[in-house]
Amino acid sequence: MSVTFAERVRLLRIRAGISQVDLARSARVHRRTIVNIEAGSRPSLDVADRVATALGVTLAELVDDDRRIETRRIETRIDVPAGETR
């Protein structure tokens, strides 16, 4: 069964145990961007790359449906900028 880009982002985020806010902060995008991505909007390559990095996978792993993502590489800790809390 094929997994969409939106489903892949959401699945990886949930497996990492992080919120949309945490992912947005780590990827340095607005939370609404993550909401839109998970709803099916396609981000720019720059944003997709930042989201992939924040999720602990490569851009190729995030966008290529034929690649199996190694879930053991997903970390549950997300770096939150200093002075901010989860």
Q: How many Å separate Cα 63 from the centre of its chain?
A: 11
Residue 56: pLDDT band (50, 70, 90) is very high
Catalogue all structural domains in the chain, each as residue range(s) with its CATH number: 5-62 (1.10.260.40)
Residue 30: pLDDT band (50, 70, 90) is very high
The answer to whether 16 and 58 have CB atoms below 8 angstroms apart is no
Most confident of 33-37, 64-68, 71-75: 33-37
Distance from C-alpha of 41 to C-alpha of 8, rounded to nearest angstrom:
13
Residue 73: pLDDT band (50, 70, 90) is very low
